[in-house]
Structure 1
Amino acid sequence: MSVLVKDSVGGRQSRRIPIRVSGSIAAGSILQPLNSSMIAIAIVGIAAQFGSSSGIAWVISGLYIATAVTAPMAGRLGALLGARQVYLAGLAIVSLGSIVGILAPTVGWLIFARVLIGIGTATQYPNAMTMIREYAERHRAQPRSAITTLTVCSQATVSLGPTLGGLLVGAFGWHSIMWINLPVAAFSAVLVTRFARVGSARITSVRRRELLRSLDVVGALLLLVLISSTMLFLLSLTTDPIWWLIPLWAMALASFIQWERRADEPFIDVRALTRNRALSATLTRTLLTYSAFYCVYFGVPQWLQYSRGMSATQAGLTMLPVAAVGALTTLIASHTYARHGARRTLAVGTGALLIGGLLLASVESSTAPILVLLLVAVVLGIPNGFNNIGNQNLVSSVTSLEEVGTAIGMYRTVQYIGANLAAVVLATTSGRIIGDEGLHRTGWFIAVVGTVLLVGVLISRNMGDRRHAHTR
């Protein structure tokens, strides 16, 4: 399969997508990053109310597993039923999950609420990307600026989560991270309905009776077993390893690959991933990037509260430079990508990740001056924008309009698997309470990942040609 890629660095399309369109489409995508990162602050209060049981870990992991499985299906549903319809349905599910979470009497109900929120938030990003691509092709506009807007809303706002979560939890308690979703979802629905006049038509025609076959439900269920068994085993390594999950995982993996190779409309096109080496390399790089990324956003806020003795509000404000720099570097990275392409953009992002890991390993301590903490936070904000812009533009550039929603869904899937890997890393390096030594070990892990990524970017042959990308 060969895919023609438009020149993303000063190419033939110069008209930009209007901000009222791209902003409206991107608005709902802030829900996922906020819900994934606000929990880093709120989890201390949740554990205090429900007890520090094993269920608390699933309050975090439940959302990521649900999103990892749902994201590819959400992109496929958008192609079958219309991207805007699926996008709006996801907002409704987020609202329902938030209400359940507000009223949750037990940790089990709270996990269920987070699963619902994970399913709902999984629909926004892949279908937003589909709507952007559809608008760009219909109006002969370049999608880069709209992708930047989407990245700021859907990725850079991860950095804002600990700060916003700290302010909300400090003022209103942990329930506030649930009810804040309701006005955001409602506002986003109004914007998309009024300004996003794309995504209503089906890209792929399908009869209702063929919908389940087109969605490849069997493939989705096998992926659920594969991801769940992987996460269960990795999380068990920190306490009592569940060794029998290894053969279950192996069987699930073999069954998933075999089924997807034979499926007429696979849930995840294994054959296409094999042929499209640029996409496969980008997804692998994304997995490693987010494993390190979420070590920062889960680990540092908890360390600030446990070891520095900060309140939720103080910890959130200390993380504010990460958010501010992350948003700024996203804009800088967009211009860098336009002028110099993916390799230089990703080299800056992975290099900054390496430096940030070294600083966490050598400088951060419970007695360090607050100015040092803020300076380290500034450095930790740099990788987010550059890595997101580089990787997401690569995914968009090496896939067709029909494939981009599903490809972005896979991008999100590996992102959330990375988030669960980060939880395992933190439990391994730091235990339940993150002290100075645990933070330093986590920093070394991030530095090693940054080194591997930087070397990979510099030597990779799958950075995406500026004019054409051929998948073999």
Structure 2
Amino acid sequence: MKSKERIPVGFITPLVLGTMMNPLNSTMLATALTTICQSFGRNISDGALLITPLYLTSTIGQPLMGRLADLYSPKKVNQLGFLLVLLAGITGTVAPTFDWLIVSRVLLGLGTSAAYPSAIALVNRRYAAAGEAVPGGVLGIIAVSGLGSMVLGPALGGLLSETFGWKGIFFINIPWVLVSLWLARALPDTPPAAPVSIRELPQKLDIVGILLFSGMLLNLLLLLLHHSFSPGGTLLLGMLLTLLILWERKQDSPFIDVRLFVQQPSLLLVYLSAMATSYVMYLMLFSLPQWMEHVKQISPARTGLLLLPMSLVSAVAGLLISRHNSLLVKNVAGVGCMIAACAALFFVHADIPIYLLTGITLLVGLSTGINPIANQAWLHEEAPAGRTGVSFGLYRTFGYIGAIVSGSQMKTLYQQGVTDNSFHTVVWFTTASCVLMVLLLLPSISRKKELSLR
């Protein structure tokens, strides 16, 4: 076997373990949320306060950690991420109040944000130093590890919360990180040729851009959690967005590259579709387990096991659709399956047989497996040459924003408790988002038809 084709197990293992932490901690919460809220005497709608912090800090933290990995040592950024997750695991395990769990989730979001960008930086520098191309298998393993942990999350979260109580989903991070840190000792430490001084750091990181973007996201979150319309908050959101755009247009190395939308306006359709897809996926992911545990009175462990086939179907569907060459087929199939899944969820009620409920969850899994792959293929086609990295970074940002909106909306929709009616209200919102996805896809379909007629 050629050298470039070998997968270095000792090198890749700690990177994979790190990459798995964000989606794993995200999906484990889905089946443990009811147990946590009951333990602290909180309404299930307050679960949104545990969902959104991870996505909020990930939205800001991932590009920030990526820049730090590029400017300094990716190994040190990787280790910093592990240490933050360790602190989050300890904080969550010993948390005396619900508020301390929120702190733990913030730390989790920041710590897990370091894993993916530092892993990619470590891989690139390792093979660049050896004068070799990065093996596709290495990047593939890192990418698939995230999907695998999403599959594992709901089942593991349900099992841990039922066996060890809700503390189990926080405690598991402690041995996970300790093993990862021990394995990461052998990772190469390759600092950049020209280190950045502390004086240059604010400009290189675009601190003003980070603060404006963070303020905008926090304001958006507060607006979403507010039960009534806030004119002042909406005005502030508009002002922060305007300031962010004006500032970032002038920066040589902007935190959010808004110039990309001018260079390639069609990218906005892709990003909005990614946001809508993420919104639907996470609203389904968090609302369905709560309904199963509250209305159907299914235990957390059994809920996780019932959702495991859905997750497996999602993974298989994603892998299969990725092999299809037609972008149009991918997108139409994805949106079509998601509309079908939303329609099927209207038939979910307290008396539904388990076998029918399982069948509906499989349809949900099919839709959540196809759509992200279809959106990524769409992005790959629209991204300008030489701007792929920036384009994909913004893609992940919009996806996280969709997750933030869905998580915060849970607080409003389940404010009066989890019932058939409140669950169906959730489904109406996901259906409306599917309609938006269809509208966003229409210009692309029209353009394909025009090109085929020429």
TM-score w.r.t. the length of structure 1 is 0.83
**Structure 2 residue aligned with 1:470:** none
**Structure 2 residue aligned with 1:67:** 58
CA distance in 2, matches of 1:396, 1:24: 28
**Structure 2 residue aligned with 1:26:** 16
Q: Which AA in structure 1 matches 2:330? A: T
**Structure 1 residue aligned with 2:175:** 183
Note if contact 2:88-2:104 (Cα within 8 Å) is conserved in structure 1: yes
Note if contact 1:357-1:445 (Cα within 8 Å) is conserved in structure 2: no
Note if contact 2:58-2:400 (Cα within 8 Å) is conserved in structure 1: yes
How far the C-alpha of 1:396 sits from its partner, in A, is 6.5
CA distance in 2, matches of 1:261, 1:440: 43
1:38 aligns with 2:22: no
1:346 aligns with 2:331: yes
CA distance in 2, matches of 1:415, 1:69: 12
Partner of 1:26, secondary structure, is helix
1:218 aligns with 2:211: no
How many residues get paired? 440
Partner of 2:322, secondary structure, is helix
CA distance in 1, matches of 2:385, 2:8: 23
1:436 aligns with 2:420: yes
Note if contact 1:352-1:383 (Cα within 8 Å) is conserved in structure 2: yes
How far the C-alpha of 1:440 sits from its partner, in A, is 2.4
Q: Which AA in structure 2 matches 1:128? A: A
CA distance in 2, matches of 1:383, 1:150: 23
Q: Name stretches of at least 5 consecutive residues in structure 1 with no aligned partner.
A: 1-14, 465-472
Alignment of 1:349-428 (within 5 A): 349-361=334-346, 363-392=347-376, 398=383, 404=389, 407-428=391-412
Q: Which AA in structure 1 matches 2:364? A: L
Distance 1:57 1:435, change over 3 A: same
CA displacement, residues 23-65 of structure 1 (integer Å, 9 cap, x when unaligned): 6533311111121122222222222232326865322222221
Distance 1:403 1:345, change over 3 A: closer
Distance 1:278 1:188, change over 3 A: farther
CA distance in 1, matches of 2:329, 2:114: 31
Q: In percent, how many aligned pairs have the same letter?
A: 30
CA displacement, residues 208-252 of structure 1 (integer Å, 9 cap, x when unaligned): 42112210111111111100111111111xx34444211221221
CA distance in 2, matches of 1:462, 1:135: 44
CA displacement, residues 163-207 of structure 1 (integer Å, 9 cap, x when unaligned): 21110000000011111112323334455554x65x835398633
1:295 aligns with 2:280: no
**Over aligned residues, Cα RMSD in angstroms?**
3.1
CA displacement, residues 442-461 of structure 1 (integer Å, 9 cap, x when unaligned): 22332332343245346428
CA displacement, residues 371-396 of structure 1 (integer Å, 9 cap, x when unaligned): 01111111111233333334345656
Note if contact 2:46-2:411 (Cα within 8 Å) is conserved in structure 1: no
**Structure 1 residue aligned with 2:451:** none
How far the C-alpha of 1:428 sits from its partner, in A, is 4.6
Higher relative contact order (CA 8 A, sep 6+): 1
Alignment of 1:78-97 (within 5 A): 78-97=69-88
Note if contact 1:156-1:385 (Cα within 8 Å) is conserved in structure 2: no
Alignment of 1:239-388 (within 5 A): 239-277=227-265, 279-336=267-324, 340=325, 342-361=327-346, 363-388=347-372
How far the C-alpha of 1:101 sits from its partner, in A, is 1.3
**Structure 1 residue aligned with 2:166:** 174
Distance 1:134 1:389, change over 3 A: farther
How far the C-alpha of 1:277 sits from its partner, in A, is 3.8
How far the C-alpha of 1:18 sits from its partner, in A, is 3.1
How far the C-alpha of 1:150 sits from its partner, in A, is 3.3
**Structure 1 residue aligned with 2:452:** none
CA distance in 1, matches of 2:91, 2:181: 20
1:140 aligns with 2:133: yes
How far the C-alpha of 1:321 sits from its partner, in A, is 1.2
Q: Which AA in structure 2 matches 1:93? A: L
Distance 1:430 1:110, change over 3 A: closer
Q: Which segment is superposed worse, 438-447 or 69-78? A: 438-447
TM-score w.r.t. the length of structure 2 is 0.86
Partner of 1:460, secondary structure, is helix
Q: Name stretches of at least 5 consecutive residues in structure 2 with no aligned partner.
A: 449-454
How far the C-alpha of 1:311 sits from its partner, in A, is 1.4
**Structure 2 residue aligned with 1:5:** none
**Structure 2 residue aligned with 1:460:** 444
Distance 1:254 1:71, change over 3 A: same
